[in-house]
Amino acid sequence: MFKKFAIPLALIIAAGTLQLFPAKAATANEDYLIRNISTGRYLTAANDELSSGVPVIEYSADGISSGNLWIKTTDENHITHFVSEQFPDSFALGVNQEGKLTVVNRNDNDLYQQFILEETDSGTKITASGFTLSPELSETDGARLSMQEENVNSFWELIPVHQNSGIKGDIQQDELVNIYDLLLAKQILLQSRSMSIEQRYLADVDGISGFSLTDIITLNQYLLGKGNLSSGDFPENTIPPVSDLPKEEPTEQNPTETEPEEITLDDMPENYREPLEWIWENRFAREGSTTRWNTIFDQICAGNGTLNFVVRWQSYKTITYEQRQQFQKLASDCINAWNDYLRNYDGWQYDHIDVNITGWAVLDKSCLLDLHENEIVYDNLISDYDSQYDTSNGIETIPDKLPSAPAELSRFDHFAEPNYTYPGGLDKRFDMYLWCTQGFPAVGGAGGDWGQRLSDDAYLNMLDGQNIHVLEHEIGHGFGITDFYGGEGEIDGFPPGGFPDGGTSIMMAGSSMEITDFDGWMLRYIWSKIKDEDGRFPN
């Protein structure tokens, strides 16, 4: 859940002074990442899923590997190439004498596509005009970047990746290490903000196992003049590149195959047991996070495997029909990412949750561009809203009005009434809001059995499938899983000894970009604890 952001003055001020440290010169190097500025994804020449050729694709890496590293070389004709470290004899990006970057299959020197190399104050940008990157196998068993869309300019930048490139601690990347980097570091850690590979490298100021709370402590000490920032390597990539090429249709399962055996708590890894018991007793049970009979477990069971949302558009920004259509997939992907851990588990009946958007509650109907006749819009239930206790993004003002859907359709308003009948039937009810607020911090959020609140821009930026872990985190609260903001063994913290196997949790904001196996077992543990409560799940 989003918490207001503050750092005690004692952490940043010593003897009435605050020290700012100038930038150190970057070290020259010849190895590079190539990143799409618009998407934030990186070029790689490594893709084990494809059976032939070495296609170049862009993907969401979280560190460096031989697949996404490009080595800068110059050939006998004084032409610069960026050679794939993974396949140096097979593939390269070359800059010809006209200054255009060309994709080269080194086996036959065939040129598949051209780019323009542009030097800017911030570095080198690679421009591809008229198309976007997409992998395709060529007829000659090589690789190419294919034209997918007209009138599109995609910009790439070259990023040096040798040790000591950039300035450790300069998370803002403005060539200074100061209090603003410390503030940004804490925002990233506590509010589940995504990081680029370079930021992960620059934020790891203690040089120990990537970015964590200890880096914030180290950076704070450095700003107080009481310590140094360590050097260290770029993080290693853990996300395998996955092709967008069509995959072969799976073969039909043999209908005579037996169903997999049901999973129970007895199947839980033994080293999960003690931390899960601690979490249940000291966090979930003590805080009562699962006692209200309106968790997402309750909502799904009451809806017979369905979950209905209303989008609460507390914003005056316009939104297209295409964007509105994508909200249902976004919600479905996030809900079912959790439900995947419940499938075939301890009496849970639903392999897949049918997620629906049943309407839009808006401040101004004209914000919904290209409105279709079949879209349900609520624009007549608008109340005053006091945002004084909200945290703003500092750029926009949070609206002083709040739109709502009819209360008679809300499960949240009637879950304690077992005989309540929704007007129009069960299908017409809505369980939660996807609450989109203009002016809300892009890195903040809140969640519960009432819904998930993020900024309007945050929701829109997730529609392409990027950074959905922020929404998955807030949905986790709806199942009854708490935040882990405190320290080890603390009242609002995580289990003594940490998460099993040195792992992380999507519910410890900033520590994981995905639902972990331990998160899945927390979800299962809750279900096993509440499923037999008398009268709670009568079906």
Q: Which residues pair with 362 in a beta bridge?
A: 313
For residue 480, what are the CA distances in angstroms to 96, 200, 507, 526? 58, 30, 11, 8
Alpha carbons 110 and 103: distance in angstroms, whole number? 8
Question: Which tokens sit at 262?
Answer: 């049901």
Can you give the residue range of the structural domain that contains 81?
31-160
- Distance linking the first and last C-alpha atoms of the chain: 31
Distances (CA, A) of 256 to 97, 252, 261, 345, 400: 64, 12, 15, 22, 60
Query: Phi first, then psi: what are they for 350, rounded to 5°?
Result: -115, 115
Range 366-397 burial, b when 16+ CB lie within 10 A, else e? ebbeeeeeeeeebbeebeeeebeebbbbeebe
Whether residue 244 is contained in a domain is answered as: no
**Does 250 reside within a domain?**
no
Quick one: DSSP state of residue 108?
Answer: T
List CB contacts of 378: < 8 A, sequence separation 6 or more. Answer: 310, 359, 360, 361, 362, 403, 404, 405, 406
The number of domains in the chain is: 3
CATH of the domain at 457: 3.40.390
Q: Are 482 and 508 in contact (CB under 8 A)?
A: no
Do 134 and 232 fall within a single domain?
Answer: no
In a domain, 221, yes or no: yes
Residue 205 has pLDDT above 60, yes or no: yes
Do 224 and 335 lie in one domain? The reply is no
Last-in-domain residue among 126, 160, 194: 160
Check pLDDT > 60 for residue 4. Answer: no
Q: Which of 181-195, 284-298, 307-321, 455-469 has the lowest mean pLDDT?
A: 181-195
Query: Does the pLDDT value for residue 158 go beyond 80?
Result: no
List pLDDT tens digits, range 27-63: 334 788 887 766 677 877 655 443 334 456 667 787 8
Element containing residue 148 per DSSP (H, E): none
Highest mean pLDDT among 65-74, 303-312, 509-518: 303-312
Assess whether pLDDT exceeds 50 at residue 469. yes
> Of the ranges 62-66, 227-231, 234-238, 532-536, which is most confident?
532-536
Per-residue confidence (pLDDT) for residue 171, from 0 to 100:
79
Both 137 and 176 in a single domain? no
- pLDDT band of residue 505 (cuts 50, 70, 90) is very high
Q: Which residues of 58-69 are buried (b: 16+ CB within 10 A; e: fewer)?
A: bbbbbbbbebbb
Q: Are residues 477 and 361 in the same domain?
A: yes
pTM higher than 0.85: no
102 and 42 housed in the same domain? yes
Asked if 266 contacts 394 with a C-beta cutoff of 8 angstroms, the reply is no
Boundary (domain end) residue, out of 116, 133, 160: 160
pLDDT digits (tens, 9 = 90+) for 291-329: 999 999 999 999 999 999 999 999 999 999 999 999 999
Sign of the dihedral defined by the CA atoms of residues 434, 438, 443, 448, in that order: negative
Q: Is 229 exposed, middle or buried (0-12, 13-18, 19+ CB in 10 A)?
A: buried
Boundary (domain end) residue, out of 210, 239, 268: 239
441 lies in some domain: yes
pLDDT at residue number 69:
84
In a 10 Å sphere around its CB, with 0-12 CB exposed, 13-18 middle and 19+ buried, how is residue 33 labelled? buried
Q: What residues pair up with 84 in beta bridges, in sequence order?
A: 70
The DSSP code sequence of 261-306 is PPB-GGGS-HHHHHHHHHHIIIIIHHHTTT-STTSHHHHHHHTTSE
* Neighbour-count burial of 84, counting CB atoms closer than 10 A to its CB (0-12 exposed, 13-18 middle, 19+ buried): buried
- Both 379 and 505 in one domain: the answer is yes
CA dist 298 and 305 (Å) reads 10
